Amino acid sequence: MNMSYNQALKMIRIYFTICELHDNELFFVSQRFSNNNEPEFTDQEVMTVFLFAINQEQRFTISQIYNFADNYLKSWFPKLPSYVAFVNRLNRLGETFKYLCSLLLCAKLPENYRNDYSVLDSMPIITCSGKRKAKVATELTDKGFCSTKNMYYYGLKLHALAFWQKGGLPFPESFVITPASENDLNVFKQNWAQIENRTFWGDKIYRDEIFFNDLALSKKAIMYTPVKGIKGLPDELKQRDRAYNDLFSKAVSTIRQPIESLFNWLIQKTDIQRASKVRSTKGLIVHVFGRIAAAFISLIFNY
Confidence bin at 134 (pLDDT 50/70/90) = confident
| Proportion of the chain above pLDDT 70, given as a percent | 90
Region(s) of the chain under CATH 3.30.420: 113-266
What integer pLDDT is reported at residue 5 of this predicted model?
Answer: 86
- Please say if the pLDDT value at position 165 is more than 70: yes
What integer pLDDT is reported at residue 125 of this predicted model?
Answer: 97
Number of Cβ atoms within 10 Å of the Cβ of 187: 21
Confidence bin at 101 (pLDDT 50/70/90) = very high
Query: How far apart, in whole angstroms, are the C-alpha atoms of residue 109 and residue 185?
Result: 26
235-256 and 258-270 helices cross at what angle (nearest 10)?
50
- Please say if the pLDDT value at position 31 is more than 90: no
What integer pLDDT is reported at residue 238 of this predicted model?
Answer: 57
Between the alpha carbon of residue 46 and those of residues 91, 104, 137, 140, 269, the distances in Å are 10, 18, 23, 25, 20
Strands 151-165 and 171-179: what pairing?
A: antiparallel
Any bridge partners for residue 143, and if so which?
154
Mean pLDDT of the chain: 89
What integer pLDDT is reported at residue 28 of this predicted model?
Answer: 79
pTM of the model: 0.90
In single-letter form, the type of residue at position 25 comes to E
Reported as a single tens digit per residue, the pLDDT across 194-247 is 999 999 999 999 999 999 999 999 999 999 999 865 555 555 555 656 776 778
What integer pLDDT is reported at residue 258 of this predicted model?
Answer: 92
Query: How far apart, in whole angstroms, are the C-alpha atoms of residue 54 and residue 258?
Result: 23
What integer pLDDT is reported at residue 27 of this predicted model?
Answer: 81
What integer pLDDT is reported at residue 261 of this predicted model?
Answer: 94
Query: What CATH class is the domain 113-266?
Result: alpha beta
Average pLDDT over residues 172-183: 96
Question: What distance, in Å, lies between the first and last C-alpha atoms of the chain?
Answer: 28
- Please say if the pLDDT value at position 132 is more than 90: no
37-51, 87-101, 228-242: which has the minimum mean pLDDT? Answer: 228-242
Confidence bin at 82 (pLDDT 50/70/90) = very high
The 3-state DSSP class for residue 35 equals coil
Q: How many helices (H) and strands (E) does the chain have?
A: 12, 6
| Proportion of the chain above pLDDT 90, given as a percent | 70
Query: How far apart, in whole angstroms, are the C-alpha atoms of residue 223 and residue 257?
Result: 15
